[in-house]
Amino acid sequence: MSNMTQKLIKTENFETYLNRSGEGNAETILFLHGSGPGVFAWANWRYALNACSETYDCLAPDLLGFGNSSHPDPLPKNRQGWMDLWVHQLIELLDNLGIQKAHVVGNSLGCSIALELLLEHPERFDKVVLMGPGGTPNTKLSPELARAKGFYQNPSEKKMRQIMSWFVYDHEKLAPEIDALAQTRFETAMRPDIQLSNDSIFATAAVPVPVTALNRIKNPVLLVHGRDDMVCSVESSYYLLSHLQNVQLHVYGQTGHWTQIEQVESFNHLIQNYFSGKL
């Protein structure tokens, strides 16, 4: 990936670690990663950054409190406080890069942030892909997600590997991928600043976006979900399908929470066809 850059960008209120590919292309895609112990943007989006960089300027920032981006001090008192900071961070980043309008791809927590961006700054965004969204009134808290949230009670690399194996449908097929990621994610997760932010983010529950607000979103939205997602059940996409206006849904069988890795080629074709108007 010759045109890949990774650097810390200082804006007025934040330091954002940004993975970027395809700089100079006319249209921009902003990739928003999910949550979980030790997660960072590169792990989530490296294949998409490669696949989409021929046509798009691809931005995959570490969200505030994750990876190599800065951490808020003082820490927000609840999840909405975090949400407001993430929205602020991302708008500052786009302003800093001189990007007026971008497509968005969110994964898990990144989907909730994407929806918040559409409510607060709809004019800054074009088409949106929500992959494995949760945070809806009918998203079931699975045992898998509950145990992932309890990672820090007794953290180990083995436990990290176990959690990541629940994220996918066929963990044996993806074992090399999981093994490679588990070590890096464990090292990241064990940093004291990362742990403090993680504990703060999960100290309070997310408040679902009200139906009245979902109804008002005019941006085109493509929902993408693994049928066998044990982290955020496919029901959450059905919920959004019934309340968003300009919406379509693509469901993959034999796929868990990481569609972008489990269905890597198909997913990258799907989102590019969607953004280019072929879908």
Three-state DSSP state, 162: helix
pLDDT at position 149 is: 87
pTM summary value: 0.98
φ, ψ of residue 258 in degrees (nearest 5): -110, 60
Q: What is the predicted pLDDT for the residue at 2? A: 52
Identify the CA nearest to 18 among candidates 55, 57, 74.
Answer: 57
Structure tokens at 99: 């990007």
CB atoms near residue 26 (< 10 Å): 7
What is the per-residue pLDDT across 149-206, written as a single tens digit (0 to 9) for each?
A: 899 999 999 999 999 999 999 999 999 999 999 999 999 999 999 999 999 999 998 8
Q: Which residues are catalytic?
A: 108, 229, 257
Q: Mean of the per-residue pLDDT values for the chain?
A: 96
Query: How are strands ordered across the β-sheet holding 56-61?
Result: 5-10, 15-21, 56-61, 27-32, 102-107, 125-131, 221-226, 247-252
Structural domains in the chain, sorted by start: 5-273 (3.40.50.1820)
Exposure on the CB side of residue 13, measured as CA atoms within 13 A: 13
* Residue 223: pLDDT over 90: yes
* Stretch 139-154: mean pLDDT: 87
Nearest Cα to Cα of residue 147 among 138, 160, 134: 160
